Structure 1
Amino acid sequence: MTARPSRILFACPQTVFDVSNGASMQVYSMLQEFSRRGIEAASFCGGVFDDPAGAARIPNLAEQIKENQGKAVLINKDSSANPENPITHWFFTGFHSTVWNEMTHEEETNFLNKYTEVLRTFKPDLVIGYGCDALCRSMWMEARSFGIPTAYIICNGNHHHYRFPLHDIVLCDSKATAKLYKDEDGLTVHPFGNFINPELVVAKQRNPQTVTFINPAFAKGVAVVARLILMANKERPDISFMVVETRKKFADALRALKKPGSEVGSAFQNQTFKNIALRDATYNVSEIYATTKVLLAPSLWYESWGRVATEATMNGIPVLASKSGGLPEAVGTGGITLEKPASNQGPDENWLVLPSEEECRPWADALYDLYDHTEKWTQGGGGHSGCAKNAEKNSLKKTGDRLLKLLKPLLKKQAGDNDFTRLGSVRYDGDPLDWENFRQPARRKRTISKKSAEQ
């Protein structure tokens, strides 16, 4: 008898179609890989985005919801990875806002009820997700009340307050993040890598010209990039820069940067930046990589992976990045990683400090080396260049192999074969009552001794 395919559900209030969130993009590619392997994959999510720009994959979202007014859930069959085994996406339409923290109690209740219906109909063997607020904890508890194992994916270093009591396994992308939670919290977290679909990020034709920086946020190292642009304007006027404004604006960041020990906004007065182009975020990120010669990723906060770094190496683009968290794993053999400038280390407010030229000299020298000698990272016989090796190590196949090896013991339980009619926290119309186990407790018989009887 042929075993049935495993069924895996990703569940979270945040949509898997959010292209402003690296975790969402990773999950979408993960579901695609499950689909390719014959696993029945599905998602149950709501219209929560990290940033309004994240709706670029579904630009007509508002119109779709309006056209389907009255429908609590929209269903999409996604055949992008495997037409013979499409992914089912249940999209909850009942959130009035795209902001996670603006859900109402009524919206959360409705979302949870629809999620319970999906559990009963899809009957997953495993539920994967993230989120540790009250709604998400209720979702984990509901899955467990059906006897379904749960897996949590950590995509950052911000979960030190949570103990993951409702999960059979806790996963993460990098070895660095696994070590972080082991050292600081005593938690066992299993790294598997990062799902990146090359079909979505690799440019078909390339004309490398610019040094590119994506998302000019303080945490992403915009202060370091500002100093490098100024240094290159003087020392290497032949180098052009491109800043991709995904969540933040470059001009806003420049107005807020400060000198060491000074107030916010003190770094510049009437400073001119040359050889720089600004461009808006785009869902088709391959357009950005098509003209990129070197990618900058000088993150100052804890970076659990650094998705853009791996995407760049898949395009044969060497990366200059900080040694922040899992960034060295994301870059791998595809570039150079350096320590953060001294002025930017320490508390978060130091992210706004403009580092000195002396502090950034190793960064500028490395940038010029990458720009002038990209062949050292992009050329090699048989696809054995540094970028190619890193791309292969982080291929969908190898990442999928690592993850499914971790999930195999949970999937073998085939929890979806349980009789769900008697499980779960809510009883629906038509559910049979379990009369067999619904009995009055037996009365305890009174034992009378022979002596007492004679008396």
Structure 2
Amino acid sequence: MAVRQMLLQLQRHGYEVQILGATNFDHPRGAGVLQGHGEALKKAVGRFVTLTDESLQHVLLVTASSQRRAMQSGEESIWFMRYRQLLETFKPDLVFTYGGKTLDLLLASEAKQLGIPVAFYLANGNYTQQRFARDLALVLTNSQAAARMYRQRLGIEAVPLGLFVDPAKVVAAESTRQHLLFVNPSLAKGAALVIRLALLLERRRPDIIFEVVESRGAWHETLRQVTEKLGEPRDQLTNVVVTPNTADMRPVYGRARLLLAPSLWWESAGRVVAEALLNGVPVVVTARGGLPEMAGQGGLALQLPKECYRPPYLPELSAVALQPVVDHIEKLFDDASCYEHWCQRARQAASQHDLQCSTDRLVQALRPFLPLR
């Protein structure tokens, strides 16, 4: 999503963009962007198609599977031959990519062999070896925290750009401020903590409703797993409403009074945090990775024991340990003046996520490799 927005911004600044990809994704729900093209794509397996996305044109190899890990070696060979042809005919000034799989490494190596610099977008904390960066001219990332971490871990200098969020796509036209919002109910994203909070508030404050938006994570599956571990198996909670994965989050943010983003894995940034702040919605994050940086003064950062951040991300926190965040939630639902104060802080914090500022940093980072525009 971030790279797509970057390409749109570069195009709007006069740069010529060509996109070569495939119809596979790192999670099955990613295939939702291909809705409406299903029948046509089934007839084109093994061939390239062109799909229009606003002002962008995506040339995509139609793969047999929509899962990236199931891409066949023959498909990778077809894709690489097309890529090699594109380097020779389009003659790009820069190749822009991401990913650490074998094909990803090969495309950077091939471009470098032809004297074409490669820029790489680094947006998570998963890379533990330097190999991915060997043939790169530039590494871009989304936060100061990520740049600092990779400098310390691998000695890689990455340029922090910030997030690329188009407010027109996420800011709600109307707001009711009625729900406690949680997006992507996976254990890594802190689902176990949210479930513990929901269990506490189900008894204590049944009027406070959680809205859970599914993404990679599935709520009911995660709920059963966590509550079974707690010795209190549940299939549903009376204070939780579940919203299926959606491409339009504006109505969701319009209903949000507060966002919970208590991720337990190392987040380089946190897109939903920026989206909430752009709506003037305060956030609660964990004090780790790039989340506090993204939240700024618009968020409460939870200090958790180190063991909470270890897989399988099922921390054993008591009701006493969770009481400070319960108190914070209740105050933001009950005290109008306090809530307005936090909303003002959220709006101020949102200024760091200005799309044009991020674009200016991107253009500046690319300037040594691209002709001036």
Task: Say whether residues 1:185 and 2:160 are aligned partners.
Answer: no
CA distance in 1, matches of 2:316, 2:70: 35
Aligned residue in 2 for 1:7:
none
Q: Give the CA deviation at 1:369.
A: 3.0
Task: Say whether residues 1:157 and 2:125 are aligned partners.
Answer: yes
Match of 1:299 among 258, 263, 270: 263
Counterpart residue type for residue 299 of structure 1: S
* 2:346 counterpart SS class: helix
Task: Say whether residues 1:396 and 2:355 are aligned partners.
Answer: yes
- Greater alpha carbon shift after TM alignment, 153-162 vs 53-62: 53-62
Aligned residue in 1 for 2:183:
214
Aligned residue pairs, count: 369
Q: Is the 8 A contact 1:255 1:268 kept in 2?
A: no
Q: Give the CA deviation at 1:333.
A: 2.5
Q: Give the CA deviation at 1:270.
A: 5.3
Structure 2: unaligned runs, 5 residues or longer: none
Aligned residue in 2 for 1:195:
164
Q: Give the CA deviation at 1:272.
A: 6.7
Aligned residue in 2 for 1:315:
279
Aligned residue in 2 for 1:226:
195
CA distance in 1, matches of 2:100, 2:86: 20
- Given the superposition, is the C-alpha separation of residues 40 and 369 from structure 1 closer, same or farther in structure 2, using an over 3 Å criterion? farther
TM-score by length of 1: 0.76
Q: Is the 8 A contact 2:143 2:268 kept in 1?
A: yes
Aligned residue in 2 for 1:374:
339
CA distance in 2, matches of 1:266, 1:207: 34
Q: Is the 8 A contact 2:297 2:349 kept in 1?
A: yes
Task: Say whether residues 1:249 and 2:200 are aligned partners.
Answer: no
Match of 1:284 among 241, 248, 260: 248
Counterpart residue type for residue 229 of structure 2: G
Q: Give the CA deviation at 1:77.
A: 4.4
Deviations 1:144-203 (A, max 9, x none): 122111011111111112331000011111111111111122221221111111111111
Aligned residue in 1 for 2:16:
40
* 1:296 counterpart SS class: strand
Q: Give the CA deviation at 1:271.
A: 8.4
- Greater alpha carbon shift after TM alignment, 298-307 vs 161-170: 161-170
CA distance in 1, matches of 2:7, 2:339: 34
CA distance in 2, matches of 1:105, 1:301: 31
* 1:247 counterpart SS class: coil
Counterpart residue type for residue 353 of structure 1: P
- Given the superposition, is the C-alpha separation of residues 343 and 364 from structure 1 closer, same or farther in structure 2, using an over 3 Å criterion? farther
Deviations 1:265-319 (A, max 9, x none): 3442358732211121111111211211111000011011111010011111111
Q: CA RMSD in A?
A: 2.1
Q: Is the 8 A contact 1:227 1:354 kept in 2?
A: no
- Given the superposition, is the C-alpha separation of residues 215 and 413 from structure 1 closer, same or farther in structure 2, using an over 3 Å criterion? same
CA distance in 2, matches of 1:57, 1:375: 36
Q: Is the 8 A contact 1:55 1:61 kept in 2?
A: no
Aligned residue in 2 for 1:131:
99
Higher Cα Rg, which structure: 1
Q: Is the 8 A contact 2:180 2:210 kept in 1?
A: yes
Q: Give the CA deviation at 1:107.
A: 0.9
CA distance in 2, matches of 1:66, 1:374: 51
User: What pairs up with 1:11-22 in 2 under 5 angstroms?
Assistant: none
CA distance in 2, matches of 1:203, 1:358: 35
Structure 1: unaligned runs, 5 residues or longer: 1-24, 81-85, 259-263, 379-384, 415-455
- Given the superposition, is the C-alpha separation of residues 152 and 70 from structure 1 closer, same or farther in structure 2, using an over 3 Å criterion? closer
CA distance in 1, matches of 2:243, 2:51: 32
CA distance in 1, matches of 2:25, 2:32: 11
TM-score by length of 2: 0.92
- Given the superposition, is the C-alpha separation of residues 132 and 271 from structure 1 closer, same or farther in structure 2, using an over 3 Å criterion? closer
- Given the superposition, is the C-alpha separation of residues 343 and 165 from structure 1 closer, same or farther in structure 2, using an over 3 Å criterion? closer
- What fraction of aligned residue pairs are identical, expressed as a percent? 34
Aligned residue in 2 for 1:331:
295
Deviating 4+ runs (over 6 angstroms):
none
Q: Give the CA deviation at 1:112.
A: 0.2
CA distance in 1, matches of 2:192, 2:306: 10
- Given the superposition, is the C-alpha separation of residues 168 and 271 from structure 1 closer, same or farther in structure 2, using an over 3 Å criterion? closer
Task: Say whether residues 1:61 and 2:29 are aligned partners.
Answer: no
